[in-house]
Chain A
Amino acid sequence: MTWEIRTFGVTAAAIAAGFLLALLYLGQITGVSAHGYEMQRLEAHRDELRRQSALLDVQLAKLDAPARIEAQAARLGLARVGHVRVMNAVELAARK
């Protein structure tokens, strides 16, 4: 094997190795980048779900508001109870 061929072979191998390494590096970088963008998309989705959840919490609080329930009850013609009868457990047991 002549000196020129050996030199050409080593150089070609070095270039091919460098190319492969660069390809690998680019592949990794692209992969990281793609995953990063996916992560950002998921983060944005998470934030939107949290926002929607907070909006639902507010809506729930509005529906649960005693003032709204009272107004609805009044609209339905319901009247407030003047006296709530409480059953005393001790007295009930004594009667039995």
Chain B
Amino acid sequence: MPVSHARLRVLFAFFAIASLLLAGKLAYWQIAMRTDLLGPALGQVRSDLVMPATRGVIRDRNGAILATTVGLRSLYAIPSRIPDKAAAAKALGVLLGRDPAGIRARLESGAEWIFIHRRLPESAAAAVDKLGIPGLGFETEPKRMYPNDTVAAHVLGFVNDEGDGQYGVEGAHDAVLRGIPGRLVVERDSRDRAVPVGLRQALPSRDGADLTLTIDLVVQTAAERELRLAIEKEKATGGCIVVLDPKDGAILALASAPSFDPSAVAVTDLEALRDRAVSWTYEPGSTMKAFTIAAALEHGLVTPSTTYNDVGFAMIGGRRLNNALGRAWGPTTVTQILERSANAGAVFVGSKLGAERLHAALRSFGFGAPTGADVTGEQPGSVRPLAEWYPVDVGTAAFGQGLAATPLQLAAAYAALANGGILYRPYVVASRRDADGEHRTAPVAVRRVVSPETATLMRDMLTSTIDNGLAKNAQLSAFSVAGKTGTAQIPDKSGSYESDEYISSFAGFAPAKDPAFVAVVVLERPKSRLLGTLTATNAFKGLALDALRTARVQPDRKP
């Protein structure tokens, strides 16, 4: 049957109008309402992710890893997808070493998504994975790891749960270690995978810089071992050991006790976080006699053979300052002042110097001001202004009382005597490696404190102190050692000193002619009281054997 043209036209007009209406509506949604529709639509498929930067690795001077960040798998659960929660809890409890009842309670808590165990050891994660329980999954989370456990804890510091570096190198260099996080915006499909041909905007993260420290892991381990043994023997309340390279001020080891585990800071006593080498000051006692004598030699006021008559005490400013145990030594040379650790002799030399020159010498050796080392929490110590000195202060300061120093300051000052007279700023970061390459730290020579001739004389006198003096047990069979013991009293709150409580120390270097290292050992309140210096020198000796062996130093004496 022929179709009339009129009907065809009506049909065409109907479809044409319908098409126009549809096109118009489509145009309305696609153009006019585009923004309103696009937002919610993209919101459903788009994910905006922060791409965390990987924290930099910290290594010792020989490349051994001291701290690094590794992704560990965290176990999560979607309880609604677990068919048998009781069986799952039982199996997980066995593998994770946790109470199955606790796990089951969490699975039945009604939560849609929960963490069962965060940052699992790899073996445990693999074992859980093997179970193949539906509804369990893993998410990788970064974990800061310290392969040497508690070794160098105070040097390294730690990273808190928010990823912020605290204390030590982690704290002092947090800005360069943490890096800069990036951003990734992608569309995701129904299986939560990034759609390859979809929207993709990425601002790449910039990983943190790697740091190489001046620390030598072998020397650090030896320092911590010797400190632990000394503290155990003396039942001391604390202590520290600082080891420097005298040639440039590089810190080879820095041990402090009590210590802490950087991986378990939450259960650490706050006092253990204090780095006694830099954040704690004490009256150094007789170890300071070396600087009094060095200053007097520098000014030409005495020579190593200048002699005075030791009667067991010295009068100064109307006060009587005694030798240890009141011992009278008779005729004593300046070299013997160090050998015998005669307080009266230090007062004799200090009096020749006078307050102004002694004060200037102490300041010049770096006491009373932070060394400027790249560590956190460094204390400046205390050398009272000259205007506040009483006449007796010349005497007490000459043998290390009435002032306060950190063990690091003392080590830096001894390093100046060891290296020929130049005070170096101690430093712990040897180099930083980032995307731009390696940036090495240049050693900083702060100033010359004594002439090379004076430094040589001091090295010889301090060597004689070990060979002929009271600190003979610091001798090494094949190496010359230079050093000085110190026994300091502990000031109490009344301005006097605690009775029968001491801080024992030893500062020295080896080999004496061409020192490979300088070390300061400090023990707080040793139970053997005045004999604590023997333990300190033994600790030095044990440390020296390892330090010299590691550095492959040739013996300079016949064993």
Contact = CB atoms under 8 A, between A and B. Distances in A.
* Same assembly: yes
B64 A64 contact: yes
A34 to B, nearest CB: 8
A62 B224 CA distance: 17
A36 B197 contact: yes
A82 B549 CA distance: 11
Contacts of A55: 70, 122
Contact of B197 (A33, A58, A82, A85): A33
* Chain A interface SS verdict (over half): helix
Contacts of B224: 67
A60 to B, nearest CB: 8
B555 A36 contact: no
Given A36-B196, A65-B147, A66-B217, A58 B65 contact: yes
B68 A54 contact: yes
B521 interface: no
A32 interface: yes
Given A58-B68, A70-B221, A40 B196 contact: yes
B138 to A, nearest CB: 11
Interface string B182-212: 0000000000011111000000000000000
B169 interface: no
A21 interface: no
B198 to A, nearest CB: 9
Nearest to B559: A83
A2 interface: no
B71 A54 contact: yes
B193 A37 contact: yes
A5 interface: no
B554 interface: yes
A82 B140 contact: no
Interface string A51-78: 1001101100110111100100000000
A84 interface: yes
A85 B549 CA distance: 10
Interface string B504-520: 00000000000000000
B151 interface: yes
Contact of A51 (B65, B70, B196): B70
- Chain A interface size, under 10 / 10 to 19 / 20 to 34 / 35 or more: 20 to 34
Contacts of B149: 65, 67
A7 interface: no
Interface in B146-175: 147-149, 151
B119 to A, nearest CB: 12
B70 A65 contact: no
B559 A66 contact: no
A79 interface: no
A29 B198 CA distance: 11
B218 interface: yes
A15 interface: no
A92 interface: no
A86 B196 contact: no
A39 interface: yes
B145 interface: yes
Contacts of A64: 64
Interface of B: 64-65, 68, 70-71, 122, 140, 145, 147-149, 151, 193-197, 217-218, 221-222, 224-225, 477-478, 545, 549, 554-555, 559
Given A51-B140, A64-B64, A83-B477, 15 more contacts: A29-B197, A33-B196, A37-B193, A37-B196, A40-B193, A61-B65, A61-B147, A61-B148, A62-B147, A65-B148, A65-B151, A66-B217, A67-B151, A67-B224, A82-B545
Interface of A: 29, 32-33, 35-37, 39-40, 51, 54-55, 57-58, 61-62, 64-67, 70, 80, 82-86, 88
26 contacts: A32-B196, A32-B197, A36-B197, A39-B196, A40-B196, A51-B71, A51-B140, A55-B70, A57-B68, A58-B65, A58-B68, A58-B70, A58-B145, A58-B147, A61-B64, A61-B148, A62-B148, A65-B149, A66-B217, A67-B224, A70-B221, A80-B545, A82-B477, A83-B477, A83-B559, A86-B478
